[in-house]
Amino acid sequence: MRGAAIENDEATAVARARAGDLDAYEVLVVRFTAPAHRAATLLGAGADADDVVQEAFVKAYRQLGRYRGESGFRPWLLAIVANETRNLLRSRNRRAGLLMRAAVREDPMPLEPDPAESAEATERRRFLVEQLRALDVRDREVLVCRYLLDLSEAETAMTLGLPKGTVKSRTARALTRLRDRLPVKEVPGA
């Protein structure tokens, strides 16, 4: 029931924002800043994630007339965030040039070491991040959305502007490609 109440709140806030109520829009800004920022960061915006989020909220407000509400406000906003992040990466690459790409500013995927974890596990994780970053951007995007951001298939489709079937096939392909890059894990007892 609580989920339904929140959904209803969200629909009301969107409806009022669409009628020009900036107070109602602020409710949405407060609720979705953190997920939008996390998505922007992990999709590669790094230290520019805050700028991406602000731009996305301004654009989302001006495009509210196109919002249909099928899968909620979050994936709809994340689609704008993903698009802004792509624009950012494109202009950053143009600025930096291809040779500099590997050394671009801050790490877009900062890894926080867990002190309780073994050095081996931390090392494996770091390696996983490196291989993820080395993937083709289209493969990386679906994996980031589906598993790192924990979005559903439908939400991922909306965020990346892809048909659902494409999300499914691209996810499978990306997983295979990522696995090919990883050393075979030793299975205990084998």
Binding-site ranges for another protein (CB under 8 A): 11, 15, 18-23, 25-26, 29-30, 33-34, 36-38, 41-42, 49-50, 53-54, 57-58, 61-66, 109-112, 114, 125, 128-129, 132, 143, 147-150, 171-172, 175-176, 178-179, 182, 185
Q: How far is the CB of 117 from another protein (least distance, A)?
A: 8
Closer of 6 and 34 to another protein (Cβ): 34
Closer of 54 and 71 to another protein (Cβ): 54
Which position has the token pair 């298939």? 153
- Residue 84 near residue 56, CB atoms below 8 Å: yes
CA-nearest of 69, 71, 73 to 30 is 73
Angle between helices 164-181 and 119-134 (to 10 degrees): 130
The phi and psi torsions of 117 (rounded to 5 degrees) equal -90, 150
Q: How far is the CB of 42 from another protein (least distance, A)?
A: 7
Token code pair at residue 147: 């598993």
Question: Which DSSP state fits 41?
Answer: I
Closer of 57 and 73 to another protein (Cβ): 57
Q: How far is the CB of 20 from another protein (least distance, A)?
A: 3
Closer of 6 and 111 to another protein (Cβ): 111
Greatest alpha-carbon pair distance for the chain in Å reads 64
Closer of 99 and 180 to another protein (Cβ): 180
Q: How far is the CB of 26 from another protein (least distance, A)?
A: 6
Q: How far is the CB of 58 from another protein (least distance, A)?
A: 5
Q: Which helix (H) or strand (E) holds 108?
A: none
Which position has the token pair 């899968």? 71
